[in-house]
């Protein structure tokens, strides 16, 4: 078991989204001691020990070696896991919501960048029902509304369910123009098929021009007017619950790693019941239930009901919120009884 030192920063800062944030009093596993740099002095630490920091090596800006101190010279992975757990337990609800909100803000920004063609591809991973699809679709729909008003064709499409390799080829052709986006939402068949993965690798290649070819005679392509070779200038977003590292097939794993290397990866993992519940409160607070014509007090009652019964629900997710909201709309007086029967474990 490898060991390192745990240090406490007494006077230092780290740049987050362009702003210097004080890290005074925070503890990090040490990676490399004090160094002088052209742009300032720093100490290198493992950011993953603290919520809200990147889970990788980061440089904390300090002036001198005395700006940090070693608090545990025999620090190992067991102690690191305990530290992470303690830090999370010490976080307030607002701190957790802020930390989670920052990650979903990055998802919003990355989706807009994909829409502008600045990001070619993105994989969005995380547990079901935390708002991955909601965030992506919300950003794309903002632009689509202008296209609808102007009578233009929409420049994005969300694909759900199964899709064959040739269906994938046709779909990419139809959205191959610049600033077009294809979203594969839980469309895992394209990620678990060799031929589909080869098409995706060609579409998302890092070369200046990305050409995709279909070298087998196809009646479907002829009937759809799709050429057997075209240049793809659009972007792709994959929303999935698949953990690529858990795939057993070596051949498939190699394909997925090649695809992952072409994509930005946004991990929206949310740990535990408390964080999921706070994420639900966050999205509802941001207007998720605005379309429901019911008093605000009833919406508040729905969230309170979910919070009180979260350990008994079949699934603690945004889908459950919408299910209960549907019941509250249909049965204003008795929705709790219906919810107890339909969304709770027996």
Between CA 312 and CA 105 the distance in angstroms is 30
**pLDDT-derived band of residue 171, with 50, 70 and 90 as boundaries?**
very high
Taking 50 as the threshold, does the pLDDT of residue 274 lie above it?
Answer: yes
CB 259 within 8 A of CB 201: yes
Q: Which residues contact 126 (CB under 8 A, 6 or more apart)?
A: 132, 241, 267, 268, 269, 270
- Other beta carbons less than 10 A from residue 153's beta carbon: 10
Q: β-strands 229-231, 211-213: how paired? A: antiparallel
At how many degrees (to 10) do helices 194-203 and 250-261 cross? 20
35-77 pLDDT, tens digit each: 998 889 999 998 888 877 777 889 999 999 999 999 888 877 6
CA 152, distance to chain mean position in Å, is: 30
| Domains of the chain by residue range | 3-90, 96-267, 272-342
Across the beta sheet with 68-76, the strand order is: 19-22, 13-16, 57-61, 42-46, 27-35, 3-9, 68-76
Is the model's pLDDT at 304 over the cut of 90?
Answer: yes
Per-residue confidence band for 266, with pLDDT thresholds at 50, 70 and 90: confident
H helix or E strand, kind and range, residue 166: helix 165-174
**Predicted TM-score of the model (pTM):** 0.73
d(CA 29, CA 27): 7
Kindly report the CATH class assigned to 96-267.
alpha beta
């Amino acid at each position: 078991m490898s060991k390192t030192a745990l240090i406490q920063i007494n006077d230092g800062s780290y740049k987050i989204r362009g702003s210097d944030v004080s890290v005074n009093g925070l503890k990090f596993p040490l990676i490399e001691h004090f160094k002088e740099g052209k742009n300032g002095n720093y100490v290198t630490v493992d950011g993953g020990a603290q919520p809200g920091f990147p889970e990788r090596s980061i440089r904390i800006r300090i002036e001198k070696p005395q700006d940090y101190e070693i608090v545990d010279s025999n620090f190992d992975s067991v102690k690191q896991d305990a530290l992470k757990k303690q830090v999370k337990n010490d976080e307030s609800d607002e701190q957790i919501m802020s930390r989670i909100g920052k990650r979903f803000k990055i998802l919003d920004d990355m989706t807009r960048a994909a829409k502008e063609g600045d990001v070619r591809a993105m994989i969005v991973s995380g547990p079901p029902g935390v708002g991955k699809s909601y965030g992506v679709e919300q950003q794309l729909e903002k632009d689509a509304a202008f296209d609808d008003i102007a009578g233009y064709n929409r420049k994005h499409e969300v694909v759900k369910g199964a899709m064959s390799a040739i269906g994938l080829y046709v779909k990419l052709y139809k959205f191959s123009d610049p600033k077009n986006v294809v979203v594969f939402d839980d469309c895992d068949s394209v990620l678990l098929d060799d031929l589909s993965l080869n098409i995706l690798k060609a579409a998302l290649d890092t070369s200046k021009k990305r050409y995709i070819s279909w070298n087998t005679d196809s009646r479907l392509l002829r009937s759809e007017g799709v050429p057997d070779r075209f240049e793809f200038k659009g972007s792709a977003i994959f929303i999935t619950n698949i953990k690529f590292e858990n795939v057993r097939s070596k051949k498939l794993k190699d394909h997925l790693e090649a695809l992952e290397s072409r994509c930005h990866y946004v991990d929206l993992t949310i740990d535990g019941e408390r964080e999921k519940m706070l994420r639900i409160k966050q999205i509802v607070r941001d207007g998720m239930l605005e379309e429901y014509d019911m008093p605000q007090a009833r919406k508040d009652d729905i969230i309170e009901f979910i919070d009180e019964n979260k350990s008994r629900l079949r699934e603690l997710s945004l889908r459950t919120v919408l299910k209960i909201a549907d019941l509250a709309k249909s049965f204003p007086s008795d929705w709790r009884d219906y919810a107890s029967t339909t969304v709770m474990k027996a």
